[in-house]
Structures are given as structure tokens and as C-alpha cells.
A and B are shown apart, each in its own frame.
Chain A
Amino acid sequence: MTLNDLWFLLIAVLWAGYFVLEGFDFGVGILLRPVGRDERGRRVLLNTIGPVWDGNEVWVITAAGATFAAFPQWYATLFSGGYLPLLLILVCLIVRGLAFEYRGKGSTAQWRRNWDIAITVCSFVPALLWGVVFGSIVHGVPLRADHEFVGTVGDFLSPFALLVGLLTLSLFVFHGAVFLSLKTTDEVRARARRIATGAGVFATVAYLVAVIWMQQIRGGVSGLQFGATSLVVGLAGGVAVAVALVLTRVGRDGWAFVSSAVGVLALVGSIFTVLFPLVMPSTGDPAGTLDIHNAASSPYTLTVMSWVALALVPFVIGYQAWSYWVFRKRISTRQIPLPRSGAHAERQPAGEVVPEARSGVVPGARSGVVPGARSGVVPGPGSGVVPGARGGVVPGPVDRETP
């Protein structure tokens, strides 16, 4: 395997990581209203991805950065050629990221409703457009001999690209629903499973059609180097989605998630194997076609980046896996603290013990904080600090012996 092959593989791995991980984030975002239903339900959904969505999104930043480093010509052509779809994706990623962080920080229902809509729309659009962009890469776009894109935005909207767009959209909705079946309980989980059925059937059909169509398109243009492999990987991926669907139906949530992740992974695998060794086929001047050689950086740069990637990627996978382990529990609506109830809650007497927090309903709890009911916390009468004294407060020793 040459360095160019290795980097083609690594970039496939980065995109696969991105689609597997942010795929279910997009799905959860799209399902926010149908599965979330009410405020508590929506907050369950948001909290299933809360700790991890940002780390998941870094995979796309890394995929783009690695493409820039290893295949600068591919990066330049793809990003200037796919200008408007990528701008739309950018706007959505901006609004969506802020929506997660800012939604809970307002006080009105209208505020939350607006951010909910933002999350839904801004998850829907990238889920569709990433498929369209990758469909267009496989299909080919008009490039001139110096590899510059010379088409219009219409060249990114071929029927095949749109099909791949619908495929990623439905696949991410399915993947998200399977993820929610794994991460939630009771009625939220039931709704997620119902939606998984419909989305899964649609995704399986679109998947199989797209995989077969893909072979036909690339077979006609460049001759397939790994056509058979791509077809086998793709069909296996379609089957994995169907298997995930069945596993969800019978309640094997963990294995269903593994299987749908394999389905997403196999889609990226199938796309990259059918392209290999091309990275950006041209439907215009054939000389414009970019492959892993004419798009690549120098051997020195590829060597340096190989060492960096091989040293760091295992750590990345390690600590991301750890964070998933830390947040492995299912989340139920009972665990969601009451919506922020207003300023009077601040006067909650320190140390008051709420006798029964099992219901998750804690009167007057503010900012999602439950005054130490289950945890056995009895906050002391201050921490040895004299509040409000002029001329500076001297923090004293902490009073650890609470009554």
C-alpha cells in the first residue's frame, strides 16, 4: 500500500466516523419533535447527544483538514465547486451547534420553540446535503483541465445525487431512531422504535438501489478497480440496515445500533471503494479528473501526516469511546429536571431535603439542579465565608461538619 492509498483510506475512515457518529446526532435532531413530543421528551432527546455531539462534529473538521493536508487539489476543487451546498451546510452547523447550547438558557417557551425548529431544520438539511455532495462526487461534476469546477449548482443535483441525499437523510433518521431506542426508556423509546420501522424500510430500499446504480455510473466512466468489492460492501451494508431494523423490532437495542452503524460505515466504504483510485471524477474535460496521485501532497508531507495520524487517531478513538462509556446510561423523562421555574426558586433554603426525588419532580429546583436529595448532600450553613462584609472577604476554613 502506498502513502496515497493509505491517505485515501484514512480520509474514508474520517468520513465514516463522521457519518456514523454525527449521523445519529442528525437523526435525533430531525426526530426532536415527532419523538420528543413534549418539553420533557425533547429534553430527553437533547440529553442523549448532549455530551457527545460536539466531539462527533469534529470528525468533519478533521476530514476536511486531512483532505487539505493530503489531497489539497481535491480539497480546493470540492470546496470551491460545492460552494453553495457547503455554505448551506455551514449555516446549519452554526445554528444547530448554538441551538444545543443556547436552547436551555432562555426562559420562555417561545425561545425554546424557536431553537427546536432550528435544530430540526439544521439537522435535516445537512443530513440531506452530505448525501447530495457525495452522490455528486461519485456521479462526477464538470471540471476543466486545471481541475477547477466549471458547472453550476445544478451539476450537484443529478437524480443519482438526490437519491444518495434521500438515502443519507433516511439512513440518519433511522440511525438516530435506533440510537434513541438504545438511549431512552418508556414512551420516548416506543415512539423512536415506531419511527425506526418506517425510516428503516425506506433507507434499506434506497440503500440497495443507490449501491447498484452507483456501480453502473462509475463502471461506465472510469472502469471499476474495486467494483465487485464495492458492490459486496454496499449490499452487505443494505442488509445490515435491514438486520438493524429487525433487531430493533425484537428489542435488541445494542446490537441494532451496532448493525445500523455498520450500515452507515458500509455506505462510506462502498462509495470510497467505487471511487478508488479517483477522488473527484470530471464529467467535463477528462484531464480534470482528480485521483489519489494528481490530487496528493508530496511524499514528505504524506509521510509526516501519516506518523501524526497513526500516533493520534488511536487516542482520539480511545477517549471518545471513554466518554461514551461515561454517558452510557439510558435517559428517561423522569430524570429531566423541571423546566426552570423562575427567580423565586433562588430562595430555596439551603440544605432543604426533598424527601422523594424518585419522581424527578423537584419543586422549585432551579437550573436543573436538584437540591441534594438522593446524594445525601447537606450543605452547611455557609462555608466559613462572611458574605457582604465590606473591605474584602476572607474565605475561612471550610466547615465540613454539617449538622
Chain B
Amino acid sequence: MDVLSLARWQFGVTTVYHYLFIPISIGLALYVAIVETAWVRTRNPVYLRSAKFFSSLLLINFAIGVVTGIVQEFQFGMNWSSYSRFVGDVFGAPLAMESLLAFFIESTFLGLWIFGWDKLSPRLHCACMWMVAFGTTASAYFILAANSFMQHPVGIEIDAATGRPRLVDIGAVLFQPLQLITFSHVITACWLTGAVVVVGVSSNFMAKRRSTEVFRPALRFGLWALLISSIAVIVTGDLQGKIMTEVQPMKMAAAEALYDTTDSASFSLITIGTLDGHHETWSIRVPGVTSYMATGTFDGTVEGVNDVQREYEQRFGPGDYRPNIPVTYWTFRLMMGAGFILALVSVVGLWLTRRGRNPVSPWVWRLAMWSVAGAFVGNTAGWVFTEMGRQPWTVVGLYKTQDSVSPTVTAGTVLTSLIVLTVLYGVLVVIETRLIFRTIRKGPPEEAAVLAMLGRKNPLRTNTLPDRGDDGTPAGGAGRGDAEPDRDDDVLTFAY
């Protein structure tokens, strides 16, 4: 294989892998922040146990998301140096902002959160997780701004001397409509992922009737969050489809494998055939839906692949401007299918668990657990669709993927790194999965243990014990422990 294919495979492998963990981190950080807030406000230790338990899942995921993220940043320079030179004036800015605003916040406050249970007041401790949730969300915003620029370059002029884009309006890059919609779509999908993880994990415990006092509320909350976020994902996805039709007509046409411009184009749920527009053996079609997705009316005109191709040849010269159509066609359906199925799961789940009911059939719980996979399928398919659908461009209309690769890096070097990273990632996913299942098997901490973890910052503490040098803070005096001197030989309540 040549350098280009190897570099593309590496980008695909590392990005898809990285993105398996990111939505869980974003979604679960928000869940832990919410449930810890519930603990701070109600002082009901059930919420604290829930926060502590789901945070162990969060941390396992977070670690792998962070370290695989460094690869993402470095490989732009390593494998795609021509691309980096070409777009550096624009593309580096959101990346640097992401580090400065998001990464520092999430890593520093996560450290404070993990180790600070007995050092920070409950409110401050909880605020740290909100900072983490803010950091992860901000991170998503900036990296999506960079990606949206690649899908639809704005805010630039082409420099006459170098032929490269020069940034003239950072506001356009950060706030273009495509970016706002894309961010909404992606962030709600992350919430959906967090929600479905909470639902799936809680179902595992509900099925075994283990720690139901923790997981019944978590399940109900997760189902409501799943319902709301899946509706939001569908609505924002619909909006994104329309704006995509405007700025990337080729991608919309490829999503439907629509070859010729059509009025009131139908949407095929499934097609058997070659997708090349000639040999369709069998398909299920819903009339007018593609037109609706693209234009907002059922009889709107949708440009076909062939017409866009002709138009692009006129604008950009001869060449093949079509993405890989079977890939875009099927990933588009997987993504949408996952979203709709998860919306259905939430409705059914809410119905089955209404007013204190718990389904008896193990199959219901099993299906709920398996629905977690739906989120992974949807997230992955969505990214593969949007990035493969952008081909042959890295920056649509400006720069092609084939020109983007590092010119002096050899195929052997890229192959080495592809193999090293793939093998490493393979080993890590095994370790990570085992740790996740182990953590789930262990279950949430007991109330005594989780309160002991808070040390002298425990708001439920009483002074009925003969205290030794404590100032006798009355029960419920949250945060009053600040005045107490630390004793050097206190056992760490949390330690690596």
C-alpha cells in the first residue's frame, strides 16, 4: 500500500477508536455531575453511591480517551504535514484553543475530583465535576469547529503568494451555521451515549435485583435523558441534513446513492444491488423522504451524484469527485437506524418501568443492556459517514486528501506506526473491557464506605464519637471542616 492509503487507514483506525470512548466520557461526566449535585442538595447517600460507581466507569474511559487524543493531535503533523502546512493558518487556532480552554480544565479538575473527596467541601467537589463536564463539552466544540471548517471552509481568503487559505474572520470559523448544527448534533449524541450507558448498566443490576436503591433512580433518569437526547439528536440531525445539502450536495446525494437529480426523491430503507444506480435488485422505499431530509419539503429537488460530479468538473477541473458510495449509503442508514431504535428503547423502557414497575422478563433487561451497542454503532457510523462523505477532499473545494499526506515520510514508516498503534489499541481495548466488566461486577460502594471516603468533609457526620482534636462541627455542617488542621498521618481516603 502507498503512503496515502496507509495514512488514511491510520487516521481511520485511530479516530474511530478514539471516538468510541469520547462520547461516554462527555455523557457520563455530565451524569456524574448531575447525580453528585443531587447528593449535595438532598444529602441522600444513594446519589453519592451512584456518582462514585459511575465515576469509576467514567475514569476508565476518560484515561483512554485522553491518551488516544494525543495521537490525534500529533498525527496531523506526522502523516499529514502537507495538509498542516496548507491549513495551518486556520486549523491550528481551534486546536490550540481546545488545549487552552478545555484540556487544561478537564485534566486539572478531574485530578482534583478524583483525589479531593476529603479535601474539598461537597459543593466545591461537585463543582469540580461540573468543570470537567464543561471542559469536555468545550473540547467537543473546538474540535468540531476545526472539522466544520474542513467540511465547509469559511472566514478565509486565498493568499495570492502561497495559494493557501489565510484566516480573516475567526468568528466565521467558530460560529458558522454548519458548526452550530454539527455541535448540537454531536453533543446531543454524546448525551444519548451517556444516557444509554446509564440505562444499560443499571439494567444489569436491576435484572439481578442488586443495589436497586441506587440503580432504579439511575435507570429512570437514564431513560428520560435517553428520550430527550434521542429526540434532540433526530431534530438536529434533520437540520444538519438540510445544511449539508446546501454546502455539500455531493454528500447528501451519496448518502442516498441518488445518481440523478430528482424531484420528491424517495428514501430507501434498504437496498439489495450494487448501488451504482444500474442494478438495483430490490429495495424498500419511502416516497419523498430524501427530498424532505434534504430540502424540508416532500417534493423538493435533490441533486444527484452525476449532476454534482459534472458541476464539480466544471469548477475544479477533471477528476472523480464522488465519495465511496456504498460506505456513505450504509453508514448513513446505520447512524439513523441506531438513533431511531434508541429513541424507541427509551419510550418502551419508560413505559415498562412506569410508576415503580419493574419488568420480570430477563429479556427486557438483556435488550436494554444490548442497546448500549446501538450508541457505539450510531456514533461510529456517523463519523465514518461524514468523513468518508467528504472525500476526495480534506478541505472541501480547496484541498484534496491525496495532496495532504507528508511528502517525505516513507510507506515503511507509516506502516510501522499503523501496526504499532493498531496492536497497542487492540491490547488496550481488551484490558479496558475487562476493567469495565470487573468494575460493574464489583457494583457500587456500600454507603458506609462511600461516606467514609469523604473523611471530615462528610456533611452527614455527627460528633457523637469522642473526637480527637476535631472542632465538633455539628451534623450537617457541610464544608465546616475547612478550619480543621490536616493531620499528616491521616490515611488517604483515595489513593492510586
Chain A interface (Cβ < 8 Å from any Cβ of B): 43, 46-47, 50-55, 57-58, 60-62, 64-70, 72-73, 75-80, 83-84, 86-87, 90-91, 93-95, 97-98, 100-106, 144, 147-150, 185, 297-298, 300-301, 304-305, 308-309, 312-313, 316, 319-320, 323, 326-327, 329-332, 334-337, 346, 348, 350-353, 357-358, 360, 362, 366-372, 374-380, 382-395, 398, 400-403
The docked-state distance in angstroms from the alpha carbon of A332 to that of B64 is 29
The answer to the question of B77 belonging to the interface, with a C-beta cut-off of 8 Å to chain A, is yes
Known contacts A83-B409, A326-B112; decide if A368 and B467 are in contact (CB<8 Å).
no
Inter-chain pairs besides A80-B409, A335-B489, A390-B358, 8 sampled, C-beta below 8 Å: A90-B70, A101-B63, A105-B435, A312-B100, A346-B446, A350-B448, A377-B460, A384-B44
Q: Which 4 A-B pairs have the closest CB atoms?
A: A72-B88, A79-B77, A69-B92, A392-B356
Contacts between chains A and B (CB distance < 8 A), count: 375
**Chain B residues closer than 8 Å to A94, beta-carbon distance:** 67-68, 70-71, 424, 428
The docked-state distance in angstroms from the alpha carbon of A66 to that of B77 is 13
**Chain A residues closer than 8 Å to B470, beta-carbon distance:** 376
Chain B interface (Cβ < 8 Å from any Cβ of A): 42-46, 59-60, 63-64, 66-71, 73-74, 76-79, 81-82, 84-85, 87-93, 95-101, 103-105, 107-112, 114-116, 118-120, 159, 166-168, 170, 209, 211-213, 216-217, 353, 355-358, 406-409, 413, 416-417, 420-421, 424, 428, 431, 435, 438-439, 445-456, 458, 460-465, 467-468, 470, 475-476, 486-496
Known contacts A54-B107, A369-B493; decide if A300 and B446 are in contact (CB<8 Å).
no
**Chain B residues closer than 8 Å to A366, beta-carbon distance:** 449
B447 adjacent to A383 (CB under 8 Å)? yes
A378 adjacent to B465 (CB under 8 Å)? yes
**Chain B residues closer than 8 Å to A357, beta-carbon distance:** 491
B428 adjacent to A98 (CB under 8 Å)? yes
A305 adjacent to B93 (CB under 8 Å)? yes
B489 adjacent to A65 (CB under 8 Å)? no
B447 adjacent to A52 (CB under 8 Å)? no
A334 adjacent to B435 (CB under 8 Å)? no
Q: Which of B111, B170, B451, B453 contacts A51 (CB 8 A)?
A: B111
A374 adjacent to B453 (CB under 8 Å)? no
A375 adjacent to B456 (CB under 8 Å)? yes
A382 adjacent to B92 (CB under 8 Å)? no
**Chain A residues closer than 8 Å to B212, beta-carbon distance:** 387-389, 392-393
**Chain B residues closer than 8 Å to A393, beta-carbon distance:** 212-213, 216
Closest to A347 in B: B446
Q: Which of A69, A78, A98, A389 contacts B64 (CB 8 A)?
A: A98
Q: Which of A55, A305, A401 contacts B96 (CB 8 A)?
A: A305
* Distance (whole angstroms) from the CB of B222 to the closest CB of chain A: 15
Known contacts A80-B77, A383-B45; decide if A391 and B460 are in contact (CB<8 Å).
no
A379 adjacent to B104 (CB under 8 Å)? no
* Distance (whole angstroms) from the CB of B477 to the closest CB of chain A: 11
Closest to B476 in A: A400
The docked-state distance in angstroms from the alpha carbon of A72 to that of B475 is 58
* Distance (whole angstroms) from the CB of A258 to the closest CB of chain B: 21
B464 adjacent to A382 (CB under 8 Å)? no
Q: Which of B92, B170, B490 contacts A335 (CB 8 A)?
A: B490
A391 adjacent to B358 (CB under 8 Å)? yes
Known contacts A105-B438, A377-B454, A392-B356; decide if A370 and B493 are in contact (CB<8 Å).
yes
Known contacts A55-B104, A80-B409, A391-B357; decide if A297 and B88 are in contact (CB<8 Å).
yes
A61 adjacent to B406 (CB under 8 Å)? no
The docked-state distance in angstroms from the alpha carbon of A97 to that of B424 is 14
The docked-state distance in angstroms from the alpha carbon of A339 to that of B456 is 23
The docked-state distance in angstroms from the alpha carbon of A185 to that of B488 is 10
**Chain B residues closer than 8 Å to A332, beta-carbon distance:** 488-489
Closest to B89 in A: A297
**Chain B residues closer than 8 Å to A301, beta-carbon distance:** 89-90, 92-93, 166-167, 170
The docked-state distance in angstroms from the alpha carbon of A84 to that of B416 is 9
B491 adjacent to A43 (CB under 8 Å)? no
B116 adjacent to A61 (CB under 8 Å)? no
Q: Which of A50, A66, A68, A150 contacts B495 (CB 8 A)?
A: A50
The docked-state distance in angstroms from the alpha carbon of A54 to that of B353 is 41
Q: Which of A47, A90, A304, A374 contacts B71 (CB 8 A)?
A: A90
**Chain B residues closer than 8 Å to A61, beta-carbon distance:** 69-70, 73, 99, 103
The docked-state distance in angstroms from the alpha carbon of A393 to that of B438 is 26
The docked-state distance in angstroms from the alpha carbon of A378 to that of B461 is 7
Known contacts A55-B111, A94-B70; decide if A300 and B167 are in contact (CB<8 Å).
yes
Closest to B435 in A: A105
Known contacts A54-B110, A369-B452, A379-B447; decide if A312 and B489 are in contact (CB<8 Å).
no
B491 adjacent to A379 (CB under 8 Å)? no
Q: List 10 A-B contacts (CB under 8 A).
A: A61-B103, A72-B88, A73-B88, A105-B439, A304-B167, A370-B493, A376-B470, A387-B211, A390-B209, A401-B475
